Amino acid sequence: MKYLVVALVMIYSSVWAEDYKLGDITVIEPFSYSTNGRSGAGYFTLTNDGPADILMAVTADFPRVMIHESLMQDGVMTMQHRTIVEVPERGEIEFGPGGYHVMFMGLDEGWAEGDEIEASLQFKNAGALDIKFVVIVRP
């Protein structure tokens, strides 16, 4: 029974999530939450098995795409624009709710579960990595 559960979990996670690799950099399971609004956010875990690199930009087919970091300031959650994100040598960066995220602005229509949002991560050393954020329902 235990093995069946493990197998089902593995099948489930492989349906919506994919990893993307470029040299020493791996972007794990990029995802977004469904939205009816004019903006959406993208999340992933990024690991680096090599020397330090810099995430210089994220590009996608929306009017504005930025890297943001959510921070608590005087008890209020604010979003700050980050022009770059340093990727430490043999390190890991978490893009997730309440922290770093890719902000997509000026959406024509919302995102629904199962949509795939194409984007490209531009690294200073590694180059460009095309990924897809899979849209899931906010838990």
Query: Quick check: 79 binds Cu ion (CB under 5 A)?
Result: yes
Residue 23 to residues 3, 39, 65, 68, 127, Cα–Cα distance (Å): 34, 31, 24, 25, 9
Q: How many CB atoms lie within 10 A of CB 80?
A: 10
Query: Quick check: 82 binds Cu ion (CB under 5 A)?
Result: no
Q: Which is nearer to Cu ion, 68 or 124 (CB)?
A: 68
Select from 101, 116, 127 the least CA-distant residue to 22: 127
Q: Which is nearer to Cu ion, 100 or 123 (CB)?
A: 100
Among 34, 45, 62, 68, binds Cu ion (CB under 5 A): 68
Among 103, 129, 131, 135, binds Cu ion (CB under 5 A): 103
According to DSSP, the β-strands at 25-33 and 127-136 are parallel
Q: Which is nearer to Cu ion, 101 or 131 (CB)?
A: 101
Give the nearest distance from C-beta 103 to Cu ion in angstroms.
4
